[in-house]
Amino acid sequence: MAEQQSSSKGSALPGIIIGAILMFGGVYLDKVLHVAHEAGSTEHAAGEHTGQWTVAFLNKLDDMGLPINPGITLATIGVLLIVMPAVKYFYITPLKNAIDERNNNLESTFNEVETLRNEMTTMKSDYEKRIASTEAEAREKINAQIKEAQALRQSLMAEAAAKSDALVKQAQEEIASEKAKVLGELRNHVTDLSLTAAEKVVGANMDTAANRKLIADFIADLEVKA
């Protein structure tokens, strides 16, 4: 910034000098033309003769509706050349710097917004990926739990069926054993009754192994026929 101001001052100096020359030259020319206009005589020096000719020319332009004052015009141009660097230094340059700074700030803000937008887009993409991954994991876990529950159900059903079969078999075995026991007791009781009745009829001891076998075979034959 300091270098720019120094460069601006250096570049404005020739314009200020030229402006001062034009301003003072214009004032001097205006005085010369004013004196020549008042004199209105041809008895002056060559420079004054030239000034009178110039006055006559300007009067003619004035009569044509084109009023021109070269001295004032040159002085005005000189003043503008002197004032413009100051205006540029104190107003235009600071305004330009402010505008440039504002543009830079806006550009920086736009860049930040674009960066933030890209970050938001990336975050959204990551979030969607995480959601999809979470849903997939949850789905896999649910499917695994369903399969595990089905396997447990089948295992429990198989175990229950096996226990049921075992209980039925055990009950059948117990029933068969109890039946055999009852039948055995019944056979012995029938045998004892038969032998006792025979002893009363015959009047002799009939409780022998042969008689018992005979009665047992008879009862067994009846059971087979039944």
Q: Which residues contact 215 (CB under 8 A, 6 or more apart)?
A: 190, 191, 194, 195
Three-state secondary structure readout of 73-94: HHHHHHHHHHHHHHHHHHHHHH
Q: Which stretch of DSSP H or E encloses residue 132?
A: helix 93-202
26 found inside a domain? yes
Q: Which residues contact 69 (CB under 8 A, 6 or more apart)?
A: 30, 33, 58
What range does the domain containing 220 cover? 178-225
Per-position pLDDT tens, the chain of length 226: 444 555 555 567 787 788 788 778 878 877 776 666 566 544 444 444 445 555 566 666 666 665 666 777 778 888 888 888 888 888 888 888 999 999 999 999 889 999 999 999 999 888 888 888 888 888 899 999 999 999 999 999 988 888 888 888 888 888 888 888 887 887 788 877 877 877 777 776 666 777 777 777 777 766 655 5
Q: Which residues contact 146 (CB under 8 A, 6 or more apart)?
A: none
Are residues 67 and 61 in contact, defined by beta-carbon separation less than 8 angstroms? yes
Provide the token pair at 85. Answer: 């660097």
The pLDDT of residue 161 is: 87
Of 82, 97, 118, the residue at which a domain comes to its end is 118
Are residues 43 and 113 in contact, defined by beta-carbon separation less than 8 angstroms? no
The pLDDT of residue 2 is: 46
211 found inside a domain? yes
Whether residues 191 and 99 share a domain: the answer is: no
Provide the token pair at 128. Answer: 């969607």
186 found inside a domain? yes
Q: Which stretch of DSSP H or E encloses residue 207?
A: none
160 found inside a domain? no
The pLDDT of residue 64 is: 67
Cα angle, residue 212 at apex, residues 211 and 214 outer, rounded to 5°: 65
Residue 46: C-alpha distances to residues 15, 37, 50 (Å): 32, 15, 6
Of 103, 118, 133, the residue at which a domain comes to its end is 118
Whether residues 23 and 105 share a domain: the answer is: yes
Distance of CA 61 to the CA centre of its chain: 78
Whether residues 26 and 103 share a domain: the answer is: yes
Cα angle, residue 150 at apex, residues 148 and 155 outer, rounded to 5°: 95
- Structurally, the chain folds into a number of domains equal to 2
Whether residues 15 and 102 share a domain: the answer is: yes
Provide the token pair at 7. Answer: 């460069």
Of 100, 118, 136, the residue at which a domain comes to its end is 118
Q: Which residues contact 18 (CB under 8 A, 6 or more apart)?
A: 78, 81
